[in-house]
Amino acid sequence: MGRKKKDYTVTSIGKDGIEREVNMDKMEALANGDTSVLENKNGAQQSSPYKILKAEIKDETLVAEYTQRNADGSTDTIKKESEHLIHPDLRAKFVELVPHLIVIGETIHHAIGRDAIKYDKELGEDVLELYSVTGYQVKGEEVTIIGQKHLENKYGVMGTIKMKVEASLTGAYDFANESSLAVAACDYEVGEYLFNGKEAATQQTMEFEEDEVAAQEV
């Protein structure tokens, strides 16, 4: 049985209220080096001025490092820390890196991780309770996945082991294409958070919406 093809779009709403969709087929084409998907109707390239270098979740907020291409052709490297809570979609994309953490780290759940990647299966809750991905960093054709393994000793005391694994995005790693797609999906959600204001709804916002509905009912 072959790996099933992903056929869906990622939808988000920016601060401007405009709903945007990114097709995963386009993301896969980009991961395979097909830049024609970036061309507009006139054949011009529509590349992003930003490139995500590193992203890490800390206390449900994000610390990121990225390059910004300026109008004069120069490039700035920017590190940004935000106080806004991350959106669940961003967290979900980080979870999709967990199978790669398990496989590259050669853990005891290596076979489960391989099956999850090969057959596009979700990991069970029992495995996700043991592993988590908190960040990633891209340098050239290499990605470093930053994560944790949670352990319980014989006395029932939980502990955490930090994990940092590296893989090639271009072929040396058995699932290089899949990891490249997973990183591209993370890049997209990180970009939505940094540049389009896609973040978790705050309690204050929820209370305001509830008050507004109550006022309309009176």
The pTM for the full model equals 0.71
- Phi–psi pair at 160, nearest 5 degrees: -130, 130
Q: Are 136 and 143 spatial neighbours (Cβ–Cβ below 8 Å)?
A: yes
Structure-model confidence comparison of residues 48 and 26, the more confident one: 48
**With helix as H, strand as E and coil as C, how does 60-102 read?**
CEEEEEEEEECCCCCEEEEEEECCCCCCHHHHHHHHCCHHHHH
The residues near 180 (Cβ < 8 Å, ≥ 6 apart) are: 31, 169, 170
- Phi–psi pair at 205, nearest 5 degrees: -65, -40
User: pLDDT for 84-140, tens place per residue?
Assistant: 999 999 999 999 999 999 999 988 899 999 999 999 999 999 999 999 999 999 998
Q: Are 41 and 78 spatial neighbours (Cβ–Cβ below 8 Å)?
A: no
**Residue 5: its pLDDT value, please?**
41
**Residue 167: its pLDDT value, please?**
87
Q: Compute the mean pLDDT over every residue in the chain, rounded to the nearest whole number.
A: 78
Work out the average pLDDT over 78-84. 94
**Bridge partners of 167?**
143
**Among 148, 171, 136, 146, CA closest to 31:** 171
Q: How wide is the angle at C-alpha 195 spanned by C-alphas 193 and 148, nearest 5°?
A: 35
